[in-house]
Structure 1
Amino acid sequence: MDTDQMNGAGAQPCSGVQWYYAQYAEALAHRYEGLSFDVLYEEVLPWLPTAPARAADIGAGTGRDAAALARAGYRVTAVEPVREMREVASRLHPEELVWLADALPELNAVRGTFDLLLLSAVWMHLDPDERPVAMARLSELLAEGGRLVVTLRHGRPPRDRRMFDVPAEETAALAAAHGLRPLHASTGGDHLGRDGVHWSRLVFEKPQADTA
């Protein structure tokens, strides 16, 4: 079976994305939690701010990455709109995390600024009209000198949820348009071994006011 597809009643092709994560929260947790944070983000680890920086994991899912950051000493807000995913996360991860039910592009419930914003496998769910709104909001949420880490999935999108193959160049241009400068860009294969899937890993920084 293609590891991107989940069988079961209620599949709704091209109808959005949150329903998918709600329906398959337990199965996805089994898949996600088997991946190591340090392996997934090996190329971007040198660009992360030093703990105890304030971090937000946007689209935190089962809490794997948020919990890893918390264990490393970061003060972490985990943002996840799907209740079923938050329930799985609370069971799997006893780390001290602040959980918020919110989602891009607006992130209306998220307050303050952060030294690190992590968007892992999230940006690809936003349509072309949502992406500029989301980038503007992320720029607002970054503290001066803060880092934005984005992972982008490339390859043919699955049929069972809304997803777009967003070019890294488009994302970098949009970040620049909202005052963020590029620090790092790399590409790599899929850690789940899916055929035809590869990833971009991007890091941006919000300049200090006196160096913008």
Structure 2
Amino acid sequence: MGEARTDGPAGTAGYGEEAERLAAQYEAVTFAEVHREALHLFPPRPADVLDIGAGSGRDAAALAALGHRVVAAEPTAELRWIGERLHAGSGVRWVDDALPALPRLGAAGERFDVVLLTAVWMHLPPDERPSAMAVLAGLLAPAGRLFLSLRHGPVPPGRRMYDAPAAEALDLARPHGLHPLLHTERPDLHGRTDVLWTVLVLSGADHS
């Protein structure tokens, strides 16, 4: 959900100096609006959820309110502080971690029923995406689901984004046993007519 800086690792999803403005933008739309095409694919019962690039915590807090156990990974300290303040008492556990490696979460050995990447994948350079997909697949519990939203459109001035074709993400996911449950497109919720989004939900096989 964040916007990447032009310096530092690609996983640093957000401008620290623009954190307040970005948080207001994120909070201007709801979790249900952003994920309306995929709402039916979230677990109906309490599950372990990881929100990568959690930004202001909008999605993490909404999922926690539904009874899920939520970890929010956000590498930009300013956004993390805003999220902790805006959604104090939500029960969300915040972590300073970032793709492509997610070293803290990977080292902890946790597995998640849902891994959510909202407006994150396009910040990763293409050469980092194979290793990032392997990390994501490793964080999924058996039959876990990976929710991806991919941004298509011009890159705003001063930001670092890359083309993020859906076909590429699907090709990278396939060797890890992840297959699409949903593949659709939607317009931009902030009214940007030159921006389009692809929504993917990928699932692994249940080996339990």
TM-score (norm 1): 0.89
The aligned counterpart of 2:34 is: 40
Root-mean-square deviation (Å): 1.7
- Aligned match for 1:97, one of 92, 99, 105: 92
User: Are 1:30 and 2:28 counterparts?
Assistant: no
Question: How big is each residue's C-alpha offset from its partner over 1:72-121, in whole Å with a ceiling of 9 and x where there is no partner?
Answer: 11100000001000111111002011110000010111131000000000
List 4+ stretches of structure 1 deviating above 6 A: none
Aligned residues: 199
- Aligned match for 2:15, one of 17, 21, 35: 21
Contact 1:147 1:206 in 2 (8 A): yes
User: Are 1:182 and 2:180 counterparts?
Assistant: yes
Alignment partners' CA distance in 2, 1:202 and 1:46: 13
Identical residues among aligned pairs (%):
48
- Aligned match for 2:103, one of 108, 113, 117: 108
1:55-204 equivalences under 5 Å are 55-94=49-88, 95-110=90-105, 111=108, 112-204=110-202
Residue type at the aligned position of 2:27? E
Contact 1:156 1:165 in 2 (8 A): no
Contact 1:189 1:199 in 2 (8 A): yes
Alignment partners' CA distance in 1, 2:132 and 2:125: 10
Alignment partners' CA distance in 2, 1:20 and 1:122: 10
Deviation at 1:19, TM superposition (A): 8.2
Alignment partners' CA distance in 2, 1:128 and 1:48: 28
Long gaps (5+) in structure 1: 6-11
The aligned counterpart of 1:51 is: 45
Deviation at 1:185, TM superposition (A): 0.6
Long gaps (5+) in structure 2: none
Deviation at 1:23, TM superposition (A): 1.1
* Cα 1:37–1:163 shift into 2, 3 Å: same
Contact 1:149 1:204 in 2 (8 A): yes
Deviation at 1:177, TM superposition (A): 2.0
Residue type at the aligned position of 2:41? W
Deviation at 1:44, TM superposition (A): 0.5
Deviation at 1:50, TM superposition (A): 2.4
Please say which structure displays the higher CA radius of gyration.
1
